[in-house]
Amino acid sequence: MRRRGNNLDRRDHLAYVGSMKQVWHLAHRVQARVKEAQRRARFSRKIQHLQGPRSLDAAPGEVLAIVLVRNGSYYMDVFFDHYEKMGVRHFAFVDNGSSDDTLARLRDRPGVIVDQCDLPLAEYEDLLRQYPAQTYGTHRWCLYVDMDELFDFPGRDVLGIAGLIRILEAQGATALMAQMLEMFPKETLQDVAHLSFAEAVERFQYFDINHVRKLDYYDAETPFADLLKDNTVPDPALQIYFGGVRGKVFGENCCLTKHPLIFNGTDVTPAPHPHLSMGVRCADFTALLKHYKFAGNTVRRDVETLARGDLDHGEDAARVAVLSNTPQLSLFSLDARPWNRIELLVRAGFLVGSERFSAHLERARQ
């Protein structure tokens, strides 16, 4: 009888422990929901509309470029020139506390939407990126780009952004994946730090794709795998990339893959992460983001970011540590390749092409 009583006591104890765990998990979920509600309420109080229409008047198929910016004046002329030539006519900027003349220069551009919120990027980046899509871009195509990124795709000069949208809609896609290609010069970064952004784009004619680590789209090793599980990719060749030349030189485990172009429809969650959206159907080809991270005074920008404590991924600290100890650093090496044309990146396996896309492009060229 004593043994039986001991077994009952043990079962009672396990049941008690199990019930306490359930209570703890429930309390934790409630606390998390309260904190999230408080975070969203604080964001709603802080976001301010500075200029432009409060609702977007755009034709079906037109694209809204969404840009999170802080001190973006350096990039502005090249940025607008590139995207306007592509056919983008609508821009929504969220300013995160610029101290240069970014806001003054945006004010000179009629129709450009500008909202501002100076809350810390590390805690509010998802809301900062989601706000323009939810406010101005509902049931529209949205192009998420940073000011040091130049979006590109095969046939851009023929198709323009409108032709690209037609191809995506013909596929029934609601997202286009892109891979970031870090562009750099032959010279040391210090030697080109004085260049304007236009001069840097002309001089940064090299890239290095020898050190890219590729994971399957749904690989559990991807840090944000849970956010990808409800997305659809039609081809296993569509993969998530990490590293590249920044991994090689600075030890960064930076993600190179983004969903920059999305249709913000009913089932889509735009930009819960800087690189992706949820609930999307990806097209069967990929685009390119030519990235100019190292244009201008890289060290100064990274030091300022570290001082603000904006980001917690450690990439800025890794770059500062290397660049501070190696002032004459160059990203150029025997692995570097000169930029020629985007189609060669498909042949090299960095981008993914498709027969359907090629057929559409061929018809557009005729």
Partnered with residue 178 across adjacent β-strands are: 258, 287
How many angstroms separate the CA atoms of 302 and 307, rounded? 9
| pLDDT surpasses 70 at 222 | yes
Between 297 and 68, the higher pLDDT residue: 68
Least confident of 20-24, 77-81, 115-119, 266-270: 20-24
How many angstroms separate the CA atoms of 35 and 274, rounded? 21
Residue 252, Cβ neighbours under 10 Å: how many? 21
What local confidence, expressed as pLDDT, does residue 241 receive? Answer: 98
CB 73 within 8 A of CB 296: no
Between 117 and 299, the higher pLDDT residue: 117
| pLDDT surpasses 60 at 7 | yes
DSSP-assigned letters across all residues of 60-125: TT-EEEEEEESS-GGGHHHHHHHHHHHT--EEEEEES---SSHHHHHHTSTT-EEEE--S-HHHHH
How many angstroms separate the CA atoms of 313 and 223, rounded? 12
Residues 6+ apart with CB under 8 A from 198: 77, 78
Least confident of 134-143, 173-182, 317-326: 317-326
Output the pTM of the full model. Answer: 0.89
What are the tens digits of pLDDT across the range 16-52? 667 767 776 777 788 889 999 999 999 999 999 999 9
Work out the percent of the chain whose per-residue pLDDT is above 90.
Answer: 80
DSSP-assigned letters across all residues of 300-328: HHHHHHHHHT---SSHHHHHHHHHHH-TT
Which tokens belong to 363?
């018809």
Q: Report residue 1's pLDDT band, with 50, 70 and 90 as the boundaries.
A: very low
Q: 116's torsion region: left (phi>0), alpha (psi -120 to 50) or beta?
A: beta
In terms of Cβ atoms closer than 10 Å to its own Cβ (0-12, 13-18, 19+), residue 215 is middle
What are the tens digits of pLDDT across the range 223-260? 999 999 999 999 999 999 999 999 999 999 999 999 99
Tell me, what amino acid is at 337?
R
What are the tens digits of pLDDT across the range 152-165? 999 999 999 999 99
Rounded mean pLDDT, 209-231: 97
User: Nearest-CA neighbor of 91 among 108, 70, 106?
Assistant: 106
What are the tens digits of pLDDT across the range 86-128? 999 999 999 999 999 999 999 989 889 999 999 999 999 999 9
User: Nearest-CA neighbor of 95 among 107, 83, 80?
Assistant: 107
Tell me, what amino acid is at 162?
A
Which tokens belong to 208?
């290095």
How many angstroms separate the CA atoms of 305 and 122, rounded? 11
What local confidence, expressed as pLDDT, does residue 297 receive? Answer: 82
In terms of Cβ atoms closer than 10 Å to its own Cβ (0-12, 13-18, 19+), residue 174 is buried
| pLDDT surpasses 60 at 313 | no
How many angstroms separate the CA atoms of 208 and 312, rounded? 26
| pLDDT surpasses 60 at 311 | no
How many angstroms separate the CA atoms of 11 and 15, rounded? 6
Residues 6+ apart with CB under 8 A from 226: none
